[in-house]
């Protein structure tokens, strides 16, 4: 059974077990089930309750609002690993620390919840900013299979009366910042604040360009350049990454910047509706930062599978991991050349190309088109603004 744990705030460390029959009210009123010392919360600020389709968070017309993974909500399903904030207090929905055997109904990372489910919501449980990357990785592998299998079922439903498709012909995976969206310095701001707080190094990114580096690598390279001892970097890396995501989510909530790049939303919509394509992510971002960055723009639900920076500390391992998940989920003998990897930096393309994937360059981010051309990508675009032209090239040769 999951628990509700206070991750940050005046009541940090407090936990409340969640049961199928329990409703937990949260606020500063002593009569609340979870009475807080946080003066920025309303008397009865929010409620967590089980419904037939899972666990839900409900805002009780609070003064300052309720936020889940950095997004303001009135009511919203909760998944294992989700973080939500009331006032200055941050909660996480966490697994019971007592080990329990994993069953077929155990929470999955990005799987749709079956109707009538009475377990904690299984669609897309995304570990919140302070969740351990080990926990995120442990539940994610099976989640990819669940998410893709649901994807195939939906495709079959759309083709009523027709033979159900065996699966998409091609898999297309995107990088995020610079490929799909612009973050306008939010990522850099979060990194610099986290590194200064955890390691005491100010302005650590001055000599560390972010382009193409995984979020884990950014911290390691920046601190190495600042002459921080390797053992100290390793000792506090998990804490720094968790703090980075916390800060990023807070920036997204209070002072968001950036936008979706031209043509991206239309491109994703059309790929999503085309049964020949399965759309995913292969990114230098952590899962914990990818979801709020994309969720802010309403893009997260277009992606049915993915490989993230917290899946493996070596980014070069992500293509093989993504292929393994796609094969397991689809039951198809997917080959490397069946995957189109879209990126905006030389590093993005280099990792995918070395794995045998077809690379798609878009010059909207970290590298110029001339720099990207050196890697001889399968396709190259200045941007995705002309969606028809992009799809014409992507669809060439598809059945």
Strands (E), 60-103: 66-68, 71-73, 75-77, 83-86, 89-94
Least confidently predicted of 29-38, 184-193, 292-301:
29-38
* 104: number of Cβ within 10 Å: 6
The confidence band for 382, taking pLDDT boundaries of 50, 70 and 90, is: very high
Is residue 52 within 8 Å of residue 118, measured between CB atoms? yes
pLDDT of residue 69 exceeding 80 = no
What percent of the chain shows pLDDT beyond 70?
79
- Cβ-Cβ contacts under 8 Å for 392 (sequence gap 6 or more): none
pLDDT of residue 186 exceeding 80 = yes
pLDDT of residue 393 exceeding 90 = yes
The confidence band for 17, taking pLDDT boundaries of 50, 70 and 90, is: confident
What mean pLDDT value characterizes the chain?
80
What number is the average pLDDT over the span 230-258? 90
Per-residue pLDDT of 76-121, as tens digits, reads 988 878 889 999 899 998 876 654 343 333 333 333 333 333 333 3
What is the 3-class SS of 274-343, one letter each residue? Answer: CCCEEEEEECCCCHHHHHHHHHCCCCHHHCCCEECCCCCCCHHHHHHHHHHHHHHHHCCCCCHHHEEEEE
What is the rounded CA–CA span in Å between residue 300 and residue 337? 25
Beta bridge partners of 49: 23, 56
**How much is the pLDDT for 147?**
53
**How much is the pLDDT for 54?**
74
């Amino acid at each position: 059974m999951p628990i509700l744990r206070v991750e940050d705030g005046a009541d940090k460390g407090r936990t409340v077990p969640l049961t199928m029959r329990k409703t937990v009210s949260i606020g500063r009123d002593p009569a609340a089930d979870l009475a807080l010392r946080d003066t920025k919360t309303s008397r009865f600020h929010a409620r967590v309750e089980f419904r037939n389709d899972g666990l839900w968070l409900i805002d009780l017309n609070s003064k300052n609002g309720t936020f889940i993974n950095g997004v303001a909500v009135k009511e919203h399903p909760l998944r294992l690993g989700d973080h939500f904030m009331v006032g200055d207090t941050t909660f996480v929905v966490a697994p019971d620390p007592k080990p329990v055997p994993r069953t077929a109904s155990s929470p999955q990372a990005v799987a749709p919840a079956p109707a009538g489910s009475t377990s904690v919501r299984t669609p897309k449980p995304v570990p919140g900013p302070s969740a351990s990357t080990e926990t995120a990785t442990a539940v994610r592998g099976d989640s990819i299979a669940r998410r893709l299998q649901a994807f195939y079922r939906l495709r079959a439903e759309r083709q009523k009366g027709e033979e159900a498709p065996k699966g998409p012909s091609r898999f297309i995976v995107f990088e995020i910042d610079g490929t799909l969206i612009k973050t306008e310095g939010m990522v850099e701001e979060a990194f610099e604040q986290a590194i200064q707080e955890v390691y005491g190094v100010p302005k650590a990114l001055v000599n560390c360009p972010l382009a193409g580096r995984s979020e884990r690598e950014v911290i390691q390279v920046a601190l190495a350049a600042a002459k921080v001892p390797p053992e100290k970097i390793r000792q506090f890396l998990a804490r720094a990454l968790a703090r980075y995501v916390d800060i990023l989510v807070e920036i997204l909530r209070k002072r968001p910047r950036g936008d979706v790049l031209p043509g991206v939303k239309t491109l994703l919509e059309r790929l999503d509706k085309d049964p020949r394509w399965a759309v995913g992510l292969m990114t230098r971002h952590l899962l914990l930062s990818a979801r709020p960055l994309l969720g802010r723009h309403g893009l997260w639900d277009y992606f049915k599978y993915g490989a993230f920076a917290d899946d493996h500390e070596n980014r070069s391992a992500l293509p093989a991991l993504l292929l393994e998940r796609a094969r397991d989920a689809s039951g198809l003998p997917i080959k490397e050349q069946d995957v189109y990897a879209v990126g905006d930096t030389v590093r993005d393309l280099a990792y995918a190309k070395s794995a045998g994937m077809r690379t798609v360059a878009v010059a909207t981010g970290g590298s110029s088109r001339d720099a990207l051309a050196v890697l001889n990508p399968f396709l190259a675009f200045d941007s995705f603004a002309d969606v028809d032209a992009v799809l014409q090239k992507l669809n060439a040769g598809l059945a």
